[in-house]
Copies of this chain bind each other. A is one copy, B any other.
Amino acid sequence: MNSRPASVSVRSVDEYRAAIDELLRPLLTRPAETVALPRALGRRLAEDVRSPIDLPVFRNSAMDGYAVRSSAVVVAPVTLPLTGLVAAGDAGTTPLEPGSAVKVMTGAPLPPGADCVVPVEDTNTDEIVVTIERGRTAGEFVREAGTDVRAGDLIAAAGTTLEPRHIAALAAVGQATVSVTCRVRAAVLTTGDELVPAGSALRPGQIYNSNGIALAAALTANGAEVVSIAHSGDDPAQFRAKLSEATERAEVVFTSGGVSKGDFEVVKDVLEPMGGQFGTIAVQPGGPQGRTVVDGVPVLSFPGNPVSTMVSFEVFVRALLRAASGLPAVREYRLPLHNALARSPEGRRQFLRGKLLHSAEPDDVYRVPTAVEVVSGPGSHLVASMAAADVLIDVPAETTALAAGALVRVWSL
């Protein structure tokens, strides 16, 4: 058995990303679902919501006090008969008798005929009459109907990712439910006979399976709903069966492992005959990649190394997934490199783990990163650096070294 041929074509990151974008494009036009407002936090509104009502719904008192006609209190102090009380929640349809006062609570409807409210602080009463110590003019402490929101006003636009402030406004205009974009249903299928679950004892040759948990966390953090996390050994029949389970439930499936040039590349072995396209991308880490459509569902195959898997997700999938979920775009910016980069492989775009450095400005200014520090070596097995890094540093394929201070492109994690 001669080995497999070297990959037919080495593609650039941008070419491969464009191919993945094309494959996953249907995820960008997701159907909507109706959810109860309290469950809509963090979801993306699928349609404009306009207020069905005026706010305030009715003309009401801004204070606890006495509703009067302003013409009756021009000269103060003045004592008026107290003819009633309107509490919040009362219908408040009884008109104010001219020359009298009605006690009103904050938020209570103003009696027809009243045009201002005298705050309780400026009054004295024996419950039969009320003495107004200080007059008020028409409109004072009165909230007119519709002065905050008019029926038909836009409360939140389609595409808004719902934060507490939006939930509050939607609740105030009485929305019990909202139409939000469905989350992308994603499945993760890890492979490899050498992998054992966390919490087990390792036998010689075994390592912990971290990709299932890690990819699920990354998917969740980027707006997807993880519908299954499964693992298959290197047996093709087992892998095929687990893959079918995944494609039945998910709209996109991520596999890890089994994509390079070994003798037991279960993912490639099963998927290539099904039309899967496997090859090497000019990137480090994460070179070997595959994509297949199985039962109509896109299946993206990442290499098995934990760092390669995570970088593959971040470089090829995260931006589209965030767009599909209405999350803010991945932030990209340019920063000077804090430390020199002695070498970078020619012909392969490199994504290094990095950490932002900030100036030591006082806390009351917007914290702007001033530089980025490399925290990983070029290898793909540097798990330790994963936890320390908050950005990816994008080193172009043609770059072989970088001086300290060189401007590099940085992607937020």
| A75 interface residue (CB < 8 Å to B) | no
Which of the 9-residue segments A17-25, A245-253, A327-335, A395-403 touches chain B?
Answer: A327-335
- Contacts A192-B88, A199-B176, A333-B364 known; A109 to B204 CB distance under 8 Å? yes
Shortest beta-carbon distance, A276 to chain B, in Å? 18
Min CB–CB distance A349 → chain B (angstroms): 17
Of the candidates B143, B176, B200, which one forms a contact with A381 in the assembled complex, judged by CB atoms under 8 Å apart? Answer: B143
Task: Find the residue from A4, A62, A120, A197 having the highest chain B CB count within 10 A.
Answer: A120
Total copies of the chain: 2
21 intermolecular pairs with C-beta atoms under 8 Å apart: A2-B126, A3-B125, A55-B384, A87-B194, A87-B264, A88-B194, A88-B264, A91-B205, A105-B264, A107-B207, A143-B379, A148-B382, A153-B384, A156-B387, A163-B413, A165-B413, A168-B213, A168-B218, A169-B383, A175-B198, A331-B367
Whether A165 lies near B123 (C-beta < 8 A) is no
Interface: A263 (CB within 8 A) = yes
- Select one of B148, B217, B381 contacting A38, CB under 8 A: B217
By a CB distance below 8 angstroms, the chain B residues around A91 are 203-205
Residues on B with C-beta less than 8 A from A211 are 171
Interface readout for A132-154 with B: 1 if CB under 8 Å, 0 if not? 00000000000100011100010
Which among B2, B89, B209, B332 is the interface contact of A363 at CB below 8 angstroms? B332
Complex CA distance for A217 and B37, rounded to whole angstroms: 10
What size tier do the contact residues of chain A reach?
35 or more
1/0 per residue, CB under 8 A from B, across A100-137: the answer is 00010111110000000000110111110000000000
Tell me which residues across on chain B come within 8 A of A62, comparing CB atoms. Answer: 379, 381
Contact A204 B163 (CB under 8 A): no
Closest CB in chain B relative to A397 CB, distance in Å = 19
